[in-house]
Amino acid sequence: MTPAKPSLEMLRALTDENVLRALMAHPRLTRAEIAALTGISKPTISDGVQRLAGSGLLVDTGERTTGRGRAGSYYALAPGLGTALVASITPYGVTGETVDALGATVDRARTDLGRNAGERRAARAL
């Protein structure tokens, strides 16, 4: 039995995931740099970048490469792309941080708890 070929939709989703992961690891990249990092062809990366920029997930930074050949455009994750809440609960307090898609802290709050505060007080502090 021959395994089924992946659908075009699945291949596009995998390409888009690789583009996003590359830009999460590096703040700004050209399409050629993304292709080199991911091992995916330049035309396929260009299609993925167009899809992601069209959906508002990526932005052209306005910066251009210099040197020989055509100038390359730098792309980055769109500002405000996503956030996550990270919480730490210890016997002494509750700390919550909001981080952006790159892991940078956007906001931080801390509530001190007494040694015998209990789980209800810790839950309210969250």
DSSP 4-69: PPPPHHHHHHHHHHHHHHHHHHSS-EEHHHHHHHHT--HHHHHHHHHHHHHTTSEEEEEEE--SSS
- Is 70 exceeded by the pLDDT of residue 122? yes
- The predicted pLDDT at position 1 comes to 67
| Burial classification of residue 72, based on how many CB atoms lie within 10 Å of its CB (0-12 exposed, 13-18 middle, 19 or more buried) | middle
- In this structure, are 101 and 67 located in the same domain? no
87 and 73, same domain (yes or no): no
| Rounded mean pLDDT, 8-26 | 95
Residue at 3 is within a domain: no
Do both 14 and 70 map to the same domain? yes
- Examine the domain organization and report whether 25 and 72 are in the same domain: yes
| Number of structural domains in the chain | 2
For residues 62 and 16, membership in a common domain is answered with yes
Flag whether pLDDT at 33 surpasses 90.
Answer: yes
63 and 12 share one domain:
yes
Measured in whole angstroms, the distance separating CA 87 from the mean position of its chain's CA atoms is: 20
Q: Which residues touch 88 (CB under 8 Å, ≥6 apart)?
A: 94, 95, 96
Q: Are 64 and 16 in contact (CB under 8 A)?
A: no
Q: Which two tokens stand for residue 32?
A: 């050629």
Do 92 and 106 share a domain, yes or no?
yes
Instruction: Examine the domain organization and report whether 92 and 54 are in the same domain.
Output: no
Cα–Cα separations (whole angstroms), residue 35 to 14, 39, 71, 113, 123: 13, 6, 16, 50, 46
pLDDT the model gives residue 95: 92
99 and 118 both lie in a single domain: yes
pLDDT(58) > 80: yes
Q: Domain range holding 42?
A: 8-77
Pull the structure tokens for residue 63.
């910066």
